[in-house]
Amino acid sequence: MFSIKKIDVKNPNKIDLTEKYRKAGDEFYEFAEAITILNNAVIKKQEENNLVIAHLENSNKKLNLLNELSYKLSMVFTLEYAIKTFAEGIYSIKKDGGGGVDSLHINIFDTVNKKTVTSLIYSRNGKKPAEVPDSEKTGKIIVTTNNINYEDYLSNCRLLINECKNKNCGGTVDDCEYRGTAGSYKCFCLKISDEVAGTVSVDSKNKDFFTQEMTDLIKEIINIASPSFAKLILIETNKELAITDSLTGIYNRRFMYEFAKREIVRAHRNSSDLSFAILDIDKFKNINDNYGHHIGDVMLTKFTDDLKNILMRKQDIITRYGGDEFVMILPDTDKENALNLMEKLRIYIKNKIYNFEDNLNLNITVSIGVSSLMSLPDGKNIKNNGDPEDILNSLLKIADDNLYIAKDAGRDKVAG
């Protein structure tokens, strides 16, 4: 626990011998006067030394806190744990005589893609500062996720408005619509690579918590954490790019293989079924040949949005397998239900008209092949606890074979 010590040096009683010896003769008077001057000079120097010692103690505590925080941040490998470490550093601060942080609201934004990366609220016992009685001040810190819209927050947060537009607030505000209801409050600007990338709001029940020294210390903690946040955001973004299809925004083939193997293991553990579907847009090459690859790309994104938003259930995963082929992973779904779901999807796509620029309207159909874990031949199934990768390859081959059966039957079909 780091505590900023209040520097208040009490003066020892100064002495004055001159009055006692004023009438005892000039020699005694001069001697007493010299002793008084010397004593008071020593006391003054002692006061100065005590102030220096107190300042050094505070500086040493602050350096220890910052060094420890910097070391801990260098050892974390995810943004989640970096934020947790940062929050612990803020919560470790206390004023001399009592009073610390009661709630902490951290917002980090992706200003390039204009979206919220994370928004977390740390609070004692999960309550706002005004709701926490003194008897619970040492209670457990609760973390909750706060769903905020980047554009809305940017438009309403006075700190970001000042920092991003007016450039005149010095990186903090002490009152805004997002503050707590009691005590003192300050909202700090979070900058990543010299760009405004979020806010850190701090509430304390202590009305005098935010001295200049306390404010400067919190700014230093934020400045230490910001490079770690930037590095980990970049790492997690690259991870996301590695498993995401750049055109459609859905998961790619690499992710599909890893996720599918985990689902096979889970299905075995729970004795539940698992189905796969491979979907292919019929004669998609004709769209590229007749209207250009730009229209083909737009068609794929529109088609993918339909798969994600209209017919896919929450537990289902859709991935781009390559080109105009998609693989859908359907947990807790047997073969019959998978076929019914894919038939509904096929009918919807067949009746959908896709609109493009220059009044171009296109209609497409799809062919779909289905396979299910419980229906694997030769006893190579979930009950026999086969190798997940072998089982996956078998499921994909069966689904692919069924896809070609659907195409050979005239396309616009579901086979399984």
Kindly report, residue by residue over 282-330, the tens digit of the pLDDT: 999 999 999 999 999 999 999 999 888 776 677 889 999 989 999 999 9
> Which residue bears the tokens 């404010």?
215
Contacts of 256 (CB under 8 A, 6+ apart): 317, 319, 321, 327, 329
Across the chain, mean pLDDT equals 81
**Which amino acid belongs to residue 94?**
K
3 state SS for the chain: CEEECCCCCCCCCCCCCCCCCCCCCHHHHHHHHHHHHHHHHHHHHHHHHHHHHHHHHHHHHHHHHHHHHHHHHHCCCCHHHHHHHHHHHHHCEEECCCCECCEEEEEEEECCCCEEEEEEEEEECCCCHHHCCHHHCCCCEEEEECCCCHHHHHHHCHHHHHHHHHCCCCCEECCCCCCCCCCEEEEEEEEECCEEEEEEEEEECCCCCCCHHHHHHHHHHHHHHHHHHHHHHHHHHHHHHHCECCCCCCECHHHHHHHHHHHHHHHHHHCCCEEEEEEEECCHHHHHHHHCHHHHHHHHHHHHHHHHHHHCCCCCEEEEEECCEEEEEEECCCHHHHHHHHHHHHHHHHHCEEEECCCEEEECCEEEEEEEHHHCCCCCCHHHCCCHHHHHHHHHHHHHHHHHHHHHCCCCCEEC
Same-domain pairing of 208 and 146: yes
pLDDT at 290 (0 to 100): 94
Give domain status of residue 81, yes or no: no
Q: 353: domain CATH number?
A: 3.30.70.270
Give domain status of residue 76, yes or no: no
Give domain status of residue 269, yes or no: yes
Q: Is the pLDDT of residue 133 over 50?
A: no
Mean of pLDDT values over 118-133:
62
The model carries a pTM of: 0.63
Same-domain pairing of 259 and 408: yes
Same-domain pairing of 29 and 161: no
Q: Is the pLDDT of residue 117 over 70?
A: yes
Same-domain pairing of 27 and 170: no
Q: Using alpha carbons only, what angle is made at residue 258 by residues 257 and 259, rounded to the nearest 5 degrees?
A: 95
Give domain status of residue 87, yes or no: no
pLDDT at 221 (0 to 100): 93
Give the count of domains, the chain: 3
Same-domain pairing of 219 and 259: no
Question: Which of the listed ranges 32-36, 154-158, 169-173, 221-225 does the model predict with the highest average pLDDT?
Answer: 221-225
Q: pLDDT tens-digit profile of 31-54?
A: 767 777 888 888 887 877 777 766
**d(C-alpha 281, C-alpha 361), whole Å:** 16
Q: Select from 215, 242, 269 the last residue of a domain.
A: 242
Same-domain pairing of 224 and 285: no
Same-domain pairing of 312 and 238: no
Same-domain pairing of 276 and 389: yes
Q: Is the pLDDT of residue 200 over 60?
A: yes
Same-domain pairing of 34 and 111: no
- Domain range for 46 is 2-71
Give domain status of residue 138, yes or no: yes
Same-domain pairing of 293 and 398: yes
- 312 by Cβ neighbours in 10 Å (0-12 / 13-18 / 19+) ranks as middle
How would residue 164 be classed by pLDDT, with cut points 50, 70 and 90? low
Give domain status of residue 248, yes or no: no
Q: Is the pLDDT of residue 84 over 80?
A: yes
pLDDT at 23 (0 to 100): 54
Give domain status of residue 235, yes or no: yes
pLDDT at 270 (0 to 100): 84
How would residue 27 be classed by pLDDT, with cut points 50, 70 and 90? low
Same-domain pairing of 308 and 398: yes
Q: Is the pLDDT of residue 263 over 50?
A: yes
Q: Is the pLDDT of residue 383 over 60?
A: no
Q: 153: domain CATH number?
A: 3.30.450
Which residue in 346, 345, 317, 311 sits closest to 331, CA to CA? 317
- 378 by Cβ neighbours in 10 Å (0-12 / 13-18 / 19+) ranks as exposed
Q: Select from 217, 242, 267 the last residue of a domain.
A: 242
Same-domain pairing of 67 and 134: no
pLDDT at 356 (0 to 100): 92
How would residue 155 be classed by pLDDT, with cut points 50, 70 and 90? confident
How would residue 241 be classed by pLDDT, with cut points 50, 70 and 90? confident
pLDDT at 135 (0 to 100): 38
Give domain status of residue 83, yes or no: no
pLDDT at 131 (0 to 100): 43
